C-alpha cells in the first residue's frame, strides 16, 4: 500500500502481520565462521562502519513489493534516483533494539540504471540500515535515503563483523578531539618521544605515543587505558580502533594541544602527529 505522506515513515498505515521476529536487546545474528569470499564488499570498511554506528537497526530482508512515489511526496529526491515505498519479508535482524514484525515497510531512494530506468526491486534481497519507528514494529526508517544496499555474501560478512566490533564489551570509544600533546627529547641527538592525549565522550583514556630512535624508523602506538604502552603498536587497518582514529582525529594537530610547549618541541610534536595521520591513511567515503 502506498503511503499518503512522506513527513515520517511512522505515518504510513499498512496491514502487516504483527507477529514479531524475536530479538534480544541489541541483537546480532552472525555466524562464528565465515566462508571464503569470492568478491570484495561493495561498501568499503569505513563506509560500512559509519553506517553501522548510525544504525540501531540493520535488517536482511527480501522485497515483496515496491510502489514508486512521485510528485510532492518525492520532494528532495536526488537526480538519478527513484523513491519507493518498500514492503519486505524479514530474513534476519542483524542488529536491533527489540523485536520486529515479520514484514517491514520503509521508504528508499534507489538509483536508476545506466539507461535511466527504474530497477526491478521485487524479490531482491537487500540490507537496510535503519532505525525503528516508535510504536510501529512493522515500520523502519532508513538512516539516509540511500541506506539500502543489495545483499552480497561479502557485504553481509563485513557488516556482521562490524556489528560484533561495535557491540564488544571492550569496543574503543569515539574520538571527539585532542587534549594536550608534548614532546620529550631523549639523551641522544634525534631521540625523543611524543605523547598525544585524545578526548572521548566517556572520558576513557586514549593516547598516542610516537618514538624517535637514532638509526631507526619512527614508530607509534595507541593505548587504551591509563598506561601508555609502546608495545601496543598501531591498530590493524579496517578495525573499529583504526576507524575511530582515521575518521575521528583532526588532520592537523591543533595549536591548543601544544600551547604550553616551547616552539621547537611543539613543532616536533606536530610532525609526529602528522606521521600518525599519514600512517592511518584516509578514512574513506563518509556514510
pLDDT, tens digit (0-9, with 9 covering 90-100), for 137-175: 999 999 998 899 999 999 999 999 999 999 999 999 999
Residue 274, pLDDT > 70, answer: yes
Q: Average model confidence (pLDDT) for the chain?
A: 87
Same domain, 197 and 248: yes
Residue 15, pLDDT > 50, answer: no
Last residue in a domain, options 167, 186, 204: 167
CA 67 from chain centre, in angstroms, equals 29
Domain housing 27: 9-32+43-167
pLDDT-wise least confident of 9-13, 108-112, 178-182, 203-207: 9-13
Which of 25, 95, 23, 85 minimizes the C-alpha distance to 57? 95
Residue 270, pLDDT > 70, answer: yes
The cell for 265 is 618541541
pLDDT of residue 247: 96
Give the CATH number for residue 76: 2.40.50.120
Is residue 147 assigned to a domain?
Answer: yes
CA atoms of 65 and 75, how far apart (whole Å): 22
Same domain, 127 and 228: no
Structural domain count of the chain: 2
For the stretch 91-147, pLDDT in tens is 999 999 988 999 999 999 999 988 889 889 999 999 999 999 998 999 999 999 889
Same domain, 80 and 220: no
Is residue 268 assigned to a domain?
Answer: yes
Residue environment code for 71-81, b if the CB has 16+ CB neighbours within 10 A, otherwise e: eebbeeeeeee
Amino acid at each position: 500500500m502506498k503511503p499518503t505522506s512522506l513527513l515520517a515513515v511512522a505515518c504510513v498505515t499498512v496491514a502487516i502481520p504483527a507477529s514479531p521476529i524475536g530479538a534480544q536487546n541489541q541483537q546480532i545474528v552472525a555466524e562464528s565462521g565465515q566462508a571464503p569470499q569470492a568478491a570484495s564488499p561493495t561498501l568499503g570498511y569505513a563506509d560500512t562502519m559509519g553506517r553501522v554506528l548510525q544504525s540501531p537497526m540493520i535488517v536482511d530482508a527480501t522485497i515483496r513489493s515496491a510502489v514508486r512515489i512521485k510528485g510532492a511526496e518525492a520532494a528532495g529526491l536526488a537526480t538519478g534516483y527513484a523513491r519507493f515505498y518498500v514492503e519486505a519479508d524479514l530474513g534476519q535482524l542483524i542488529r536491533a533494539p527489540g523485536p520486529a514484525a515479520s514484514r517491514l515497510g520503509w521508504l528508499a531512494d534507489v538509483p536508476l540504471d545506466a539507461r535511466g530506468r527504474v530497477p526491478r526491486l521485487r524479490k531482491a534481497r537487500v540490507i537496510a540500515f535503519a532505525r525503528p519507528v516508535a510504536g510501529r514494529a512493522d515500520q523502519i526508517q532508513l538512516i539516509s535515503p540511500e541506506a539500502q544496499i543489495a545483499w552480497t555474501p561479502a557485504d553481509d560478512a563485513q557488516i556482521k563483523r562490524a556489528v560484533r566490533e561495535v557491540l564488544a564489551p571492550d569496543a574503543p570509544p569515539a574520538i571527539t578531539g585532542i587534549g594536550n600533546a608534548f614532546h620529550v627529547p631523549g639523551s641522544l641527538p634525534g631521540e625523543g618521544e611524543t605523547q598525544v592525549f585524545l578526548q572521548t565522550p566517556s572520558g576513557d583514556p586514549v593516547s598516542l605515543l610516537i618514538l624517535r630512535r637514532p638509526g631507526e624508523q619512527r614508530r607509534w602506538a595507541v593505548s587504551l587505558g591509563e598506561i601508555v604502552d609502546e608495545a601496543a603498536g598501531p591498530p590493524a587497518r579496517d578495525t573499529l580502533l583504526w576507524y575511530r582514529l582515521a575518521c575521528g582525529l583532526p588532520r592537523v594537530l591543533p595549536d591548543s594541544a601544544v600551547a604550553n610547549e616551547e616552539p621547537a618541541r611543539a613543532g616536533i610534536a606536530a610532525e609526529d602527529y602528522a606521521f600518525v595521520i599519514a600512517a592511518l591513511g584516509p578514512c574513506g567515503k563518509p556514510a
